[in-house]
Amino acid sequence: MEPIAGRYELTEQISAGGMGTVWHGYDAVLDREVAVKLIRHDTAASAEQAEEFAKRFRREARVTARIRHHGVPQVYDAVLDQSSDRVYLVMELVHGISLRAFVDPDEPLPTAWAAAMAAQISTVLSHAHAVPVVHRDLKPDNVLVAEDGTVKVLDFGIAAILRRDVTKLTATGQAIGTSQYMAPEQIRGAQITPRSDLYALGCILHELLSGRPVFTGRTDFELWQQHTSAPPRPLHELRADVPSELEHLVLDLLRKNPEQRPADAYEVYERLLPFLPVSGSPLPAAGDSPVDLPDPTLMYRRPNAPRSRPEAAPAVPAPTAGGPAAPPPVAADTRLRDAIKAAVEESDALLGSERFAQAADVLQEVIVPAADALGAESPRVLMLRLRRAAILFIGGAYREVLPEFDALAKAYARTEGAAGEQALNCRRQAAYCRAELGQTTAALSQFRVLLDQVRARDGDASETALELRRNIGMLLLGEEDLVAAAEVLRPLYEDLCLLYGPEHEDSQEVREMLARLDLG
């Protein structure tokens, strides 16, 4: 077999699955072992679809590479072959045992071991969700335990690359995804957020403690119904020695409504702390631990901690009435004008190569001197800031760009009026960011206010109004408010059919959402 990209030699296949194959490889340039994942893509029926897949692959590989944590195998390279339908991720090679090997219905894990697994996964998720990256397919098969007991979470970004983050209600009942670990909002095709990963973590922790899955439907459709409607069986009915507070945590993680789950992975870690060994405590006796399996509690005998929560972004002060007037902008000379032009052209070139972070940095370098010379809310400076924010949004940096969209919305409201096009656009982008970050209540409120304003200006069937109605319906589905979701989605579907026809992709998407309302 020819080396990948002329340098990665594939020596032995490690595993194969629905998402592709993993190979033991060798990097001839840096003289080291690597893991090479060939991501299978068999849905590209046209050159356009193949190109879309290639773009999605590049974006997700770059975003995933931004996760900085020892519990995530480092991404070394992302290779796209010439046909754009086969892609390779070159990663750190991890020697470990699948978490699946720790699940035994006859001999469930010691409580401390199960808590240590979940706590390490929480630590990883706290770092990933801060990017933010949502795993979308967290399950025991995507978790390895290394020889020193360190948990490694695999395949971040793979579900997004393959769009395996939603189920497809096909005639055969074949699911795309892993039904035993899918959150209700994921099954319904609603907004996926970091709390969707927390639901999957609840499924994993329940399984580690009991030795069996949360739900055991005979078909995918039965599993979907159980995840969306059935209460999980309490752990104390399966295992008497599970502490009540640990059982409460599992039940909170498995709430149908994501807003009722723990706020974030950091909170999950804190609630697991009482069940972990204290620093310096002795190793468990041989009879207290599974034979021939690495001990995941070692990390807590030599402590580790999750990523700290980011501090709230400082509010941007608005000019006060009667306060000192802003100094008049200094006239810009041709050097500044040329610098702005060059920065925009360079950022466009970087954006064309999907180098989002660099494109944003190039603009930031010219925004500061432009604001000093022209004024912070001059049209030219606001245009540059909006351009940079849009680039960061496309690159998935939702947490970083949210305060900027909020600030831009206020600036445009002051300069163009609250109902101005750019003010509405920035508030809309801020609502998207909040939805992606799992701030569902705030996102819903913002989308509803925006929809009222857009309806008053453009009517109920404008492109923007239709998109806002769809966003609201998806978020209501995710919150398990099925009645309200139906009230939004049914008239939306009728309007889409009238405007575009029932076979249009937008109509079909909303029709699938409505079909999921019948799951329970």
Active-site positions read 137
Query: Token digits for 259?
Result: 């807003």
Query: Token digits for 202?
Result: 């609840």
d(CA 344, CA 447): 31
Q: What is the DSSP pairing of strand 96-98 with strand 143-146?
A: antiparallel
DSSP string over 370-384: HHHHH-TTSHHHHHH
- Using DSSP's 3-state secondary structure scheme, residue 146 falls into strand
Q: Of 219, 72, 87, whose CA–CA distance to 138 is shortest?
A: 72
- Using DSSP's 3-state secondary structure scheme, residue 440 falls into helix
**Angle (nearest 5°) at CA 443 between 439 and 445:** 125
Query: Token digits for 229?
Result: 């409607």
d(CA 386, CA 406): 11
- Alpha-helical (H) ranges within 211-292 are 220-229, 244-253, 265-272
> Is there a contact between 36 and 88 (Cβ–Cβ < 8 Å)?
yes
Phi-psi region of 256 (alpha: psi -120 to 50; beta: other; left: phi over 0): alpha
Q: Which residue has the tokens 């409607």?
A: 229
